Amino acid sequence: MKKATEDLKAFNFKEKTLQIGDVFPEATLLNHKGEETSLKGALDGKPAIISFYRGTWCPYCNLELAYYSELLGEKENKGVRMFAISPEKPDVTIEKTDPESLNFTICSDVDNKLAKKLNLVFGLSEKIQGIYKKFGIDVDNSQGNTEKELPVPATFIVDKDGKVAYVDLDEDYTTRPDAQEVVAEYKKLI
């Protein structure tokens, strides 16, 4: 796992993804019911946090998203809008939680189409695939394809004009931005 992380760092996703001031691309995503939704339409000219996560099988992703849901449920954060995006099929994204109970919107980026536009996608090595298999992680089944690709966990904040106002990503999947700091950055836009 350490070697895989070092290999990802060498690719330097931070320089290859969107930067502050760039326009966030349009995409068609699936909501938790499997219905197509336009990201631009969902943003509706308002700021939003957009968080890419690896999948429901990832304990780091689950901890991060659980904390965001708790934080966004607090009275002072009720107006904060967030979209959590994974390459998993809609039915998989809701296996472990009721999306209606979350304080953000879950979306499926089928085949990592949006994540690829953002240069966030990497292929899983055979060694990592073997490790995942030992843990019972079936990326093919959860994503509904055989590409064996994941997005680097990344968090963006887009402003009302759809421009990137904040970006944080780390090739080390165990390192995530502080959710309170992300929410504070979001609030600067409203």
Residue 151's pLDDT band (cuts 50, 70, 90): very high
Residues 21-46: pLDDT tens digits? Answer: 999 999 999 988 899 999 999 999 99
Q: Give me the pLDDT at residue 100, please.
A: 77
pLDDT surpassing 80 at residue 1: no
Q: Give me the pLDDT at residue 11, please.
A: 84
| pTM of the shown model | 0.94
Which amino acid appears at position 138 of this protein?
A: D
Domains of the chain: 2-187 (3.40.30.10)
Alpha carbons 85 and 83: distance in angstroms, whole number: 6
pLDDT surpassing 80 at residue 99: no
Reduced to 3 states, what is the DSSP secondary structure of residue 30? Answer: strand
Please state whether 101 falls in left (phi above 0), alpha (psi between -120 and 50) or beta. alpha
**What is the gyration radius of the CA atoms in the chain, in angstroms?**
16
pLDDT surpassing 90 at residue 101: no
The secondary structure element, H or E, covering residue 82 is strand 82-86
Cβ atoms of 136 and 21 within 8 Å: the answer is: no
Look at residues 127, 104, 107, 101 and name the one whose alpha carbon lies nearest to residue 30: 107
Cβ atoms of 13 and 171 within 8 Å: the answer is: yes
Sheet holding 82-86, edge to edge: 36-38, 28-31, 105-108, 82-86, 48-52, 154-158, 164-169
Average pLDDT over residues 79-106: 87
pLDDT surpassing 90 at residue 2: no
Which phi and psi (to 5°) does residue 125 adopt? -70, 160
Q: Give me the pLDDT at residue 32, please.
A: 86
